[in-house]
Amino acid sequence: MLQGILHYAHYLLEGSIDKNETVIDATCGNGNDTLFLSNVVGKNGHVLAFDIQDDAIIATKQKLEENNRTNVSVIQDSHANLQAYIPTNEFLIGGAVFNLGYLPKSDKSIVTKGQSTINAINTILQYLKTSGLIVLVVYHGHEGGEEEKQIVLKHVMKLNQRKYHVLRYGFINQRNNPPFIIAIQKR
């Protein structure tokens, strides 16, 4: 069966992340992916969850509290500054997820941007475990979305194929700028 975009994103992450690992939610928003990752790594794993806006940080913390999660650090900062949260050179990231775009039902002018997304991807790739995945769900129908989509695509299409597998997955007969997935696997 073909899987919907969000199901497929979770399927990829679940299949590549192991218990007890440290993983990244680069755009935590309402905390749905954060909670999912928290389950996948288990209570001895760790999730670093980033977002820049107050609403997202509040919503994510609330979701984690409601679900009694203690294995997540919610960080109000841009994922472009991720390097500052890497404790040692030997640090290993088990996997990462990005949901590009704006927070639903919130300020539509606060959106992810191509250059900061690329900065974060590059930092994560340095510390990603072998066979680990970065999964990006690319929403691009909003203002600025097409520009970010092009910047990110151009960047990932140039990643060295000897080091990374890069996949694009999406439905090509849907209306209204359907989201798609970019998955980058470290070889």
For residues 7 and 163, which CB has a smaller minimum distance to ligand SAM in the complex? 7
For residues 113 and 129, which CB has a smaller minimum distance to ligand SAM in the complex? 113
The DSSP output letter for 111 is B
Contact 40, 94 (CB under 8 A): no
User: Shortest approach of ligand SAM to residue 3 CB, angstroms?
Assistant: 17
Residues that bind ligand SAM (CB under 6 A): 27-30, 32-33, 50-53, 56, 78-80, 99, 101-103, 110-112, 116, 139
Quick one: which H or E segment has residue 115?
helix 114-127
User: Shortest approach of ligand SAM to residue 22 CB, angstroms?
Assistant: 17
User: Shortest approach of ligand SAM to residue 31 CB, angstroms?
Assistant: 6
User: Shortest approach of ligand SAM to residue 139 CB, angstroms?
Assistant: 6
Burial 42-73 (b: 16+ CB within 10 A, else e): eeebbbbbbbbeeebbebbbebbeeeebebbe
User: Number of helices (H) and strands (E), helices first, in the chain?
Assistant: 5, 7
For residues 81 and 131, which CB has a smaller minimum distance to ligand SAM in the complex? 81
Closest residue by beta carbon to ligand SAM:
29
Q: What is the CA radius of gyration of the chain?
A: 15
For residues 147 and 161, which CB has a smaller minimum distance to ligand SAM in the complex? 147
